[in-house]
Chains A and B, each alone.
Chain A
Amino acid sequence: MEIVLKNISKRFGAVRANQDISVAFYSGRIVGVLGENGAGKSTLMKILSGFQAADSGEIWLDGQRVRYRGAQEAVRAGLGMLQQDPLDVPAFTVLENFVFGNPNLANPRQKLAELAARFGFHLDADALCGQLSIAQRQQLEIVRLLALGVRALILDEPTTGISAEQKELLFSTLRRLAREEGMTVLLVSHKLEDVIALCDEVIVLRGGRLVGRTSMPTTPQALVAMMFEELSPIDARPSLPLGQTALRVESLHLHVDRLHLHNLNFSLRGGETVGLAGLDGSGQEAFLRVCAGLLRPQRGRVCVGEQDFTHRSYRDFRRAGVYFTAAGRLEEGLIAGLTLTEHVALTDEGDDGAAWINWIDAEKRAAARIARYQVRGQPYSPIETLSGGNQQRVLISLLPEHPRALLLEQPTRGLDVDSTRWIWQQLEARRQQGAGIVFSSAELDELVTYSDRILVFYEGRCVEVADVRQTSADALGHLIGGNF
């Protein structure tokens, strides 16, 4: 399907999310839509797929001007969007999800099986959707949209939270759809390697404007140059003389749900960074929580410094200088509905044990952190109104200056290259002050770049990569897949 956008503009309050964007996409092509966080790529795609209305501008599909109200009308016009969090109903079975919204489908069970078999998807029609992995839910959405007869597919950050093999399956599916059916595929992503691996061409947005369009192949450097006006350079990462043991785990045994961690030994010294690699749910999340006192191990010891902290609460760990931040920023890390000042007050005063809050002082401290951590927001801004990158900055700003150990679950998840580097500058500064850092990440490059050692988890087993400098992201990828 040929898609032409003409002069699309959209504002949210004072923010111009899209400014006068005109662009065309052609049949059988896979086009990457690149841009940093807040560049306006999601907004543009939501306008195209009917989830949002543009303030002005026109959409033409196959030479005809279309106007639709709502995503359903866009689907009827042939345009389907796969959201980052697939828009299904977790309480429904796979089959019910497949049928819902498509009442004229004859013999749905067979149709679902056919489509799934064609692309090599494993979808149990009677399984509950809520029990599927993100990748399977994406697959379900894709076959659902295909059954509705869409001729163009938009995917918003589809590779977040899925494994390398699932990503390969997704990409081969998209290639086949483009080559065999002449489908137009738009891939919204901030991951350059995905775009380079899959796309025929790339458009780049910056500050709500279309700033570049290029055919593939091209180099990552060229794409980065288009995405960012200027890049903060990666500081050379000095090896530091290691300090004392900050955290030690001895013969740890842990059973949570289906996960078994077995006889795990680990120690972290001041001034070093240890990366945790592995697919989601391989044990690294549970391990981090054990180190923070948030999960109780069945056997084994957790020591902070030289003291035994097994079975003590997270509060005690914090008092001893061990801090944890969760990947779910708004779910676990921050509190939606509270302002920045309230977060500062909650963190600081809570640690002092003072009963009364000095609001004037708390607001001053919030303002100071906003300035120091370059947060785009005000002390009175409710935290959920900030963008993801700014929420992460707030989360980092709430960590103390001189911790003993930082336990960070995917500290840069969903952030663009620039924000990621900035976050790491802050973390490095704390490491140089003597803190030990343990972090998990799904990005192999990040693990290789910022770690002194890496622990790779696979189904609860764990192997250590001691010399990261001799390891490539590829070799790490093999380990993550279980090829120890």
Chain B
Amino acid sequence: MDSVLQNTLNTVVSNATPLVIAALGETITERAGVINLSLDGSLALSAMVGFVAAYAAQRSGVSAPVALALGVTSAALIGALMALIIAWGGITLRRDQVAVGFILTLLAADLAQFLGQDYTRIPGPTFPTVPVPFLVDLPVVGPILFRHSLFVYFSYVLLIVCWWWLFRTQGGLAHRAIGERPASAYARGVDVNGLRYLYTILGGALVGVAGAAFSLNLKPGWANPPSMRGDGWIALAIVIFGGWHPFRVLLGAYLFAALRAFASAAQRSGDVGIPLVLLNAIPWLAMILTLVFVSSGVLERLLRVLPRAVQNRARALLRSDPPAALGTRFEP
């Protein structure tokens, strides 16, 4: 395989990874019926805190691995804290989750810029690239998938765990049920609001980790305005694009990163004859077109050609309906 192409695909995977982690976190939250709209602000704030914590730890003489672990942990805590505010406002105080999320995302983004202003453009600790022994030697896929930082490997594990949990366990049934029809879950003895708190906080913590994946690995350091600005909204869009299904969410994030890479490559070569604005819009246009395709009758007609046993599987994989109780309150 062409090594240029391999390198490009390798970059696509690493560029997509923070999006994958954040979008999987949001998937966990939304599957439980809570919408955490604070992603864009949470990413920025946790990226900043993660970087500053790792930087300060390193300056005080701690070894690099410990400093990095501290950075990731504090970023996760910030993400969890933001999610806790969403859960508290939406569940306990019975406020509109969308409204709370919107306010929070604006607040957190500004807070990140304000608190992080003394830490801009300074070098700090970063996660090194760690090839996975043996796997990296696999033909074709090895160099693409297994020559990365720990964040990328974490996203692989997260994907599998997420899918397995949602679709292969009793706990996953309860998880999905509280997002679909909480009254049914409650009648089966599930603590609906307790679990909603749990999954909101867990999803938020993953958003925090995604923030750290930006500032400690992908775009090391901190800048004003932060380089990941807007990516929180993209992650939210990817969850919708991914139909709340972990594998499709991953695919969506990779696709988005690939289109972005294509757009910037085209810009650099400069002679494609397509206006710059249009190039930048390509990832968005592609997403809208796919959503239209998924929700149009064409897909359903294609599905009917398949044998019955496969049909339901395919439908579950391709479904684009949000969890039925998303953003609603449940009072037993």
A and B pair up: yes
Do residues B312 and A93 form an inter-chain contact, with CB atoms below 8 A? yes
- Please tell me the number of chain B residues within 8 Å of chain A, measured between CB atoms: 23
Contacts of B106 in A (CB 8 A): none
Whether a CB of chain A sits under 8 angstroms from the CB of B174 is yes
Do residues B184 and A89 form an inter-chain contact, with CB atoms below 8 A? yes
CB proximity to A under 8 Å, residues B290-331: 309, 312, 315-316, 321, 323-324
Contacts of A90 in B (CB 8 A): 180-181, 324
A70-B187, A91-B323, A101-B188 given; name 5 further pairs at CB < 8 Å.
A73-B189, A99-B173, A100-B177, A100-B185, A126-B309
Contacts of B181 in A (CB 8 A): 87-91
0/1 interface trace, chain A 377-410, chain B, CB 8 Å (1 if under): 0000000000000000000000000000000000
Smallest Cβ distance from A385 to chain B, in angstroms?
Answer: 16
Do residues A71 and B177 form an inter-chain contact, with CB atoms below 8 A? no
Whether a CB of chain B sits under 8 angstroms from the CB of A128 is yes
CB proximity to B under 8 Å, residues A72-122: 72-73, 87-93, 96, 99-101, 103
Whether a CB of chain B sits under 8 angstroms from the CB of A127 is yes
- CA A70 – CA B192 in complex, angstroms? 12
Evaluate whether A72 and B187 lie within 8 angstroms (CB atoms) in the complex, with A89-B180, A93-B312, A128-B315 already known: yes
Whether a CB of chain A sits under 8 angstroms from the CB of B176 is yes
Whether a CB of chain B sits under 8 angstroms from the CB of A424 is no
Contacts of A99 in B (CB 8 A): 170, 173
**Among A92, A93, A127, contact of B180 (Cβ-Cβ < 8 Å):** A92
Whether a CB of chain A sits under 8 angstroms from the CB of B186 is yes
Interface size class of A (residues with CB under 8 A): 20 to 34
Evaluate whether A91 and B324 lie within 8 angstroms (CB atoms) in the complex, with A70-B186, A73-B189 already known: yes
Contacts of A103 in B (CB 8 A): 170
Whether a CB of chain B sits under 8 angstroms from the CB of A450 is no
**Among B173, B183, B189, B190, contact of A92 (Cβ-Cβ < 8 Å):** B173
Do residues B186 and A128 form an inter-chain contact, with CB atoms below 8 A? no
CB proximity to A under 8 Å, residues B181-215: 181, 183-190
Contacts of B174 in A (CB 8 A): 100
Task: Give the one of A99, A101, A103 with max B CB within 10 A.
Answer: A101
Whether a CB of chain B sits under 8 angstroms from the CB of A51 is yes
Contacts of B176 in A (CB 8 A): 89, 91-92
Do residues A87 and B180 form an inter-chain contact, with CB atoms below 8 A? no
Evaluate whether A126 and B312 lie within 8 angstroms (CB atoms) in the complex, with A71-B187, A89-B176, A89-B177 already known: yes
In chain A, what residue has the closest Cβ to B181? A89
Contacts of B177 in A (CB 8 A): 89, 92, 100
Interface residues in chain A, defined as those with a beta carbon under 8 Å from any beta carbon in chain B: 51, 70-73, 87-93, 96, 99-101, 103, 126-128
Do residues B184 and A88 form an inter-chain contact, with CB atoms below 8 A? yes
Smallest Cβ distance from B328 to chain A, in angstroms?
Answer: 14
In chain A, what residue has the closest Cβ to B173? A100
- CA A318 – CA B275 in complex, angstroms? 51
Contacts of A91 in B (CB 8 A): 176, 180-181, 321, 323-324
Evaluate whether A87 and B323 lie within 8 angstroms (CB atoms) in the complex, with A92-B173, A126-B312 already known: no
Contacts of A100 in B (CB 8 A): 170, 173-174, 177, 184-185, 188
In chain B, what residue has the closest Cβ to A80? B187
Contacts of A71 in B (CB 8 A): 186-189
Contacts of B324 in A (CB 8 A): 90-91
Do residues A72 and B189 form an inter-chain contact, with CB atoms below 8 A? yes
Do residues A70 and B189 form an inter-chain contact, with CB atoms below 8 A? yes
CB proximity to A under 8 Å, residues B109-150: none
Contacts of A93 in B (CB 8 A): 312, 316
Do residues A72 and B188 form an inter-chain contact, with CB atoms below 8 A? yes
- CA A103 – CA B189 in complex, angstroms? 12
- CA A89 – CA B323 in complex, angstroms? 11
Do residues A101 and B312 form an inter-chain contact, with CB atoms below 8 A? no
In chain A, what residue has the closest Cβ to B178? A89
Task: Give the one of A91, A93, A127 with max B CB within 10 A.
Answer: A91
Contacts of B180 in A (CB 8 A): 89-92
- CA A101 – CA B316 in complex, angstroms? 21
- CA A51 – CA B173 in complex, angstroms? 21
Contacts of B188 in A (CB 8 A): 71-72, 100-101
